[in-house]
Amino acid sequence: MSLSHRHNREFQPEKLHLPRDFSIPVIDESQPLLIEIGAGKGKHAVEYAEQHPKQQLIAIERTRTKFQAFAKIAQQKQLNNLFPIHADAIAWVVHALAPASIDAVYLLYPNPEPHNPNQQWLNMPFFEFLLSRLKEGGQIILASNIQSYIDNAESQSVNVWCLPTIKTPVPADSQRTHFEVKYLARGEACWQLTLCKPVNYKTRFDQWYYQP
Q: Which residues 129-188 are close enough to bind ligand SAM by CB under 6 A?
A: 177-180
Q: How far is the CB of 42 from ligand SAM (least distance, A)?
A: 8
Phi and psi at residue 65, to the nearest 5° = -65, -40
Chain centroid offset of residue 6 CA: 21
Q: What is the C-alpha to C-alpha distance for residues 130 and 90, in angstroms, rounded to an integer?
A: 9
Q: What is the C-alpha to C-alpha distance for residues 49 and 125, in angstroms, rounded to an integer?
A: 30
Say whether residue 48 binds ligand SAM (CB under 6 A): no
Q: Based on CB atoms, which residue is closest to ligand SAM, 62 or 133? A: 62
Q: What is the C-alpha to C-alpha distance for residues 91 and 45, in angstroms, rounded to an integer?
A: 20
User: Among 13-21, 36-44, 165-173, 192-200, which window interacts with ligand SAM (CB under 6 A)?
Assistant: 36-44
CA-CA-CA-CA dihedral for 159, 105, 25, 174, to nearest 10: 160
Write out the H or E segment, with its range, that includes residue 129. helix 126-133
7, 11, 13, 38: which one contacts ligand SAM (CB under 6 A)? 38
User: Among 59-67, 133-141, 153-161, 204-212, which window interacts with ligand SAM (CB under 6 A)?
Assistant: 59-67
Say whether residue 19 binds ligand SAM (CB under 6 A): no
108, 124, 130, 153: which one contacts ligand SAM (CB under 6 A)? 108
Q: How far is the CB of 33 from ligand SAM (least distance, A)?
A: 18
CB-based contact 141:15 (threshold 8 Å): no
Interface residues with ligand SAM (CB under 6 A) are: 37-40, 60-63, 66, 88-90, 108-111, 177-180
